[in-house]
């Protein structure tokens, strides 16, 4: 039994659309001759267990995972393109969020404040923010305190509650929240954005045979282009697809190297 999961932007409001997307993708995969295609998506399984498990068929992960914990374990097959402000082609960015009454107008003014990240291995919540502020570090720090919330929506809550001054939120996540949970942005405002990087890719095991990788890519393209899924894709903010290789995610290492060059190991 193999496992398929698309956890990066999964939320209650998008689950049915993801299931519909998977049903079409699974049919395309089967028609192309792939065997052991999962019948359904697995929801709510811990990603570390999922991505390192021997039963993985396909998933979606953060680009930072490809250069860090899951290097040589996962490989990208394609990068989704999103109909979201801050996304251009296969690239996305993070949105810098502060409290509605924050006195700051530029993130570079925020030395000595408190930041919250969703996790230390997140590109959108940590690495992109670290890259943005690294030139302003003093003695290896920019913020006086760094909190870890566990999720982007929890980071928004932390800033709203006054327990942190700033967060970097994945632009796709923020757009989905503003659409389906508009109350989640109440009391907050946008300060700016980070620099662009490749969006979270669809991934398979690095050991998948090359011919099977080619078929997975072909099935993804067919699913993205299927006119019968127009409404489904709109609910997920999906508008296109770019075929991806590991080399396309060099930007993640460049963000990390830039911060290290300026002496900032963590935001």
Residue 86's pLDDT band (boundaries 50, 70, 90)? confident
| Domain 3-82+198-252 shares a fold with domain 94-195 | yes
What is the fold of 3-82+198-252? D-Maltodextrin-Binding Protein; domain 2 (3.40.190)
pLDDT digits (tens, 9 = 90+) for 11-57: 999 999 999 999 999 999 999 999 999 999 999 888 889 899 999 99
Mean pLDDT of 75-89: 96
| Mean pLDDT on 226-246 | 98
Residue 141 confidence (pLDDT): 92
Alpha helices, H only, the chain: 15-31, 47-52, 63-67, 128-133, 152-160, 171-180, 210-225, 230-236, 250-261
Q: State how far the Cα of 222 lies from the Cα of 18, in Å rounded to an integer.
A: 16
Residue 1 has pLDDT above 90, yes or no: no
Percent of the chain as helix, strand, coil, to the nearest 5 = 40, 20, 35
- Mean pLDDT within 223-236: 98
The domains of the chain are located at 3-82+198-252, 94-195
Matching CATH number, 94-195, of 3.40.640.10, 3.40.50.1000, 3.30.70.270, 3.40.190.10: 3.40.190.10
Beta sheet of 202-205, edge-to-edge order = 3-4, 56-60, 202-205, 74-82, 238-243
pLDDT at position 41, please?
96
pLDDT at 31: 97
Buried b (16+ CB within 10 A) or exposed e, 47-74: beebbeeeebbbbbbbbbbbbbebeebb
Tell me the β-bridge partners of 242: 79
DSSP symbol at 126: I
pTM: 0.95
Residue pLDDT, tens place only, 174-215: 999 999 999 999 999 999 999 999 999 999 999 999 999 999
Summarize pLDDT for 110-122 with one digit per residue, the tens: 999 999 999 999 9
User: What is the residue-averaged pLDDT of the chain?
Assistant: 96
């Amino acid at each position: 039994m193999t496992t398929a999961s698309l956890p990066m932007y999964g939320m209650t409001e998008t689950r049915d659309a993801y299931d519909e997307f998977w049903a079409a993708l699974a049919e395309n995969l089967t028609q192309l001759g792939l065997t052991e295609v999962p019948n359904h998506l697995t929801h709510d399984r811990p990603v570390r267990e999922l991505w390192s498990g021997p039963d993985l068929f396909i998933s979606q992960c953060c680009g930072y995972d490809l250069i860090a914990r899951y290097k040589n374990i996962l490989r990208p097959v394609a990068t989704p393109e999103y109909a979201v402000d801050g996304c251009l082609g296969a690239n996305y960015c993070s949105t810098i969020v502060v409290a509605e009454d924050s006195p700051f107008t530029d993130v570079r003014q925020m030395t000595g404040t408190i930041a919250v990240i969703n996790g230390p291995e997140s590109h959108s919540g940590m690495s992109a923010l670290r890259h943005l502020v690294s030139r302003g570090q003093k003695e290896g720090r920019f913020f006086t305190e760094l909190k870890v919330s566990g999720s982007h929506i929890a980071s928004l809550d932390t800033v709203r509650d006054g327990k942190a001054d700033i967060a970097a939120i994945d632009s796709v996540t923020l757009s989905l929240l503003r659409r389906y949970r508009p109350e989640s942005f109440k009391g907050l405002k946008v300060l700016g954005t980070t620099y662009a990087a490749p969006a979270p890719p669809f991934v398979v095991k690095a050991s998948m045979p090359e011919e099977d990788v080619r078929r997975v890519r072909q099935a993804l393209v067919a699913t993205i282009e299927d006119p019968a899924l127009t409404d489904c894709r709109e609910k997920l903010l999906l508008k296109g697809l770019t075929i991806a290789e590991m080399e396309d995610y060099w930007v993640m290492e460049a963000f990390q190297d830039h911060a290290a060059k300026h002496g900032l190991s963590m935001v």
